Structure 1
Amino acid sequence: MTEELLSGGNMDVVVRVGDTVRRVAGEWTPSVHAWLRAIRASGVEEVPVPRGSDAEGREVLSYLPGSTLDRAEPAVLWSPDVLEQAARLLRRIHDAEPSPDAASGVWRTKRHDPVEVICHNDFAPYNLLVEGGRLVGVIDFDMASPGPRIWDLAYLAYRLVPFAEDAEGFDDLETNGGESRMTRLNRVIAAYGTPYAASAVLAIAAERLDELAAFTGARAAETGRSDLRAHAAMYRRDAEHLRRLLTGREG
């Protein structure tokens, strides 16, 4: 069957073949597929169905309809409803009961203590799918690993509240009567359903960005890609910005 190269796939090439998606498999793939099966078994249908591997050894997943949220119009991308839908979907995924040995399984990225759930580790607009202005799915689970709930929630807040430097279109809406970032941060925390302090979420987001900057910088050195160097620099700036917010040095 014809293979269609899909956008994204920053780590590996991702292709669509009919109603499936194929991508590079690794020693982490059985853990990810077991987790996806657990999520589906809990009643969450917004994640791909694992379908084993193909003749080339690539993992096979069901193709989910929809377009990625980062490509949506700003009115959809920064919608308070979509923000809340994302937080609620993350909570439902976190609440899925993984297998007893999940925490000790093989994962592509390191675990973070205290382990409470399996974290997606990249729950962000470019991995969230929308149709008709509503959130309908989430993809790209290959970077998952065990960790605390707030680790995932903090990165979602960074990307969708947003606190990211490259959050195009948000400020225009904000000046036209939209909610402030801190109001949106409290909104996403409330929608997730665990009463974290906003300061705790911001602190973890900064820690997450430190790690992401180091990882992305290493990838840039390996590949020579200038875009990855630029991303790493942005993550460092954004981490510093969050710390300024926490210390009251920036409004």
Structure 2
Amino acid sequence: MRTHARLLAGFLLLFVVYQASEGLQTVYAPGNPLGPALMLAALLLAWPVGRWIDGSGYRAFGLHGRHWAGLLLGMFLLAVLAKLAGEALALGLGMERFTPMVALAAPAVALAVVSTFVPSLAEDILTRGFLLRLTPRPLGPWGYVLGSALLYTLNHVWRFDWGLSEQLRLFCLGLAYGAAAYRFGSLWAAVGLHWGWNLGNSLLSQAWPGAVLEVAGNRLVSAAVHLVLLAIVLAWPRPAPSPPAAPAAG
């Protein structure tokens, strides 16, 4: 019971810091450096929270595994390819218009790499890492996947007024990322997919501004692509993973 209380307290702490960052960046002060600073703070705070829960730091949230680097890279490349396929599909369906692309400078690319990795990892810890500690009991595989997808959707509180298409898109993203974390027994699998998609989206939006014609249609394309990613993840040959970190007794 003590461990579960610490899990809840740690989750609430990271949730508040994360949402403060998102609120500043999305609504109240876009461009203010305090927003990204709070996002970095949420990620850094996860380590002492993990230490407090069971003494394992980031491993408490499933950031472990013998094959973590290959898993991260493989899922990252898969997500980037999926993003490109989604863009091609949106173009073919007339939801985006083809315009000349803008060349991106190396500093802009480097900034995008960092600015997409930090929030992807922080959000994965918050919406998937905490729940991963409860599996395989009592949630089970589909309980975990559905539960983490719902939590991921609800975590985007600053997008609740964006319409049903956005909530559906987020839920489908959550299904693919949650399935990756559970199937490989490591949060790094979800981080790879999440980061690859976010980085691809960031770079394409900078290099190809003003291309979107149908916002809702684009979101549905993203949702469909992630359902395909879900199927790929479920069919992916799985190496022998390290099990999720077990909660400490007490």
**What TM-score does the superposition give when structure 1 sets the normalisation length?**
0.26
More helix by share: 2
- Higher RCO structure (Cα 8 Å, ≥6 apart): 2
